[in-house]
A and B are shown apart, each in its own frame.
Chain A
Amino acid sequence: ETGVTQTPRHLVMGMTNKKSLKCEQHLGHNAMYWYKQSAKKPLELMFVYNFKEQTENNSVPSRFSPECPNSSHLFLHLHTLQPEDSALYLCASSQEAAGGAGTDTQYFGPGTRLTVL
């Protein structure tokens, strides 16, 4: 247990559905991250929130919409997805983002396996 939980663990959705992924961290951290992990590709950073402010959007299509209501919770809202969006979506948290001195050491949740039909 890393102190970062994600729900649901598995999600199957059609291209016209709207769904949300949830991440919660119990580590008292101030930064949270969304990553996409596709087969045979390196992890892709999608979004970074630091003290509830979005500090990074790595050219992610608008069909992915993040929300960070407080430092402990992070959501990823999904709509009109494509089959190529099928992947493992990983959430991570760190003490801060770019605080230096190792405060951006990231702890990951177990991921949500998303399948888009």
Chain B
Amino acid sequence: GEDVEQSLFLSVREGDSSVINCTYTDSSSTYLYWYKQEPGAGLQLLTYIFSNMDMKQDQRLTVLLNKKDKHLSLRIADTQTGDSAIYFCAESMDQGGKLIFGQGTELSVKP
């Protein structure tokens, strides 16, 4: 079945790197996404990676995809207090627009 797993919490110090991990079960995923949700807000698309790529970098964000292990990670360099939020990974299998979301990882950045 389709399942996306994330750890629930991560706490880092300001200026450190954060790494948020995600595992998924369906090897037919075509795109994998990272969304950010700040308190009281909707989901903001951060970045996405096509399943035939291993890595994608966008400013402070680096996405790594290990398709063999079905593991996706989001690295945030030089983490700031404004990065405190819940981060969701999601997979798309081009099936009627369905995205399967993980439970979200709450990132807490301490000054």
Do A42 and B103 contact each other (CB < 8 Å), given the known contacts A102-B31, A108-B43?
yes
Which residues A60-100 have CB closer than 8 A to chain B?
90, 92, 94, 96-98, 100
Sampled A-B contacts (29; CB under 8 Å): A2-B42, A4-B42, A6-B42, A31-B97, A33-B97, A40-B103, A41-B103, A42-B4, A42-B104, A43-B101, A45-B98, A45-B99, A48-B96, A48-B97, A56-B97, A56-B98, A92-B43, A98-B95, A104-B31, A104-B97, A105-B31, A105-B33, A106-B97, A106-B99, A107-B45, A108-B35, A108-B42, A108-B43, A108-B44
Q: How far is the CA of A94 from the CA of B98 in the complex (A)?
A: 11
Separation in Å of the A86 CB from the closest CB of chain B? Answer: 15
A25 close to B (CB within 8 Å): no
When the two chains form the complex, which single residue of A45, A102, A108 contacts B50, counting CB atoms closer than 8 Å? Answer: A102
Do A111 and B96 contact each other (CB < 8 Å), given the known contacts A42-B101, A42-B103, A100-B30?
no
A4: which B residues are within 8 A, CB to CB? 42
Report yes or no: B33 in contact with A55, Cβ–Cβ below 8 A: no
- Measuring CB to CB, which residues of chain B are less than 8 angstroms from any residue of chain A? 4, 30-31, 33, 35, 40-45, 48, 50, 88, 92, 94-99, 101-104
Most buried by B among A48, A102, A109: A102
Q: How far is the CA of A97 from the CA of B99 in the complex (A)?
A: 10
- Tally chain A residues at the interface, Cβ within 8 Å: 31
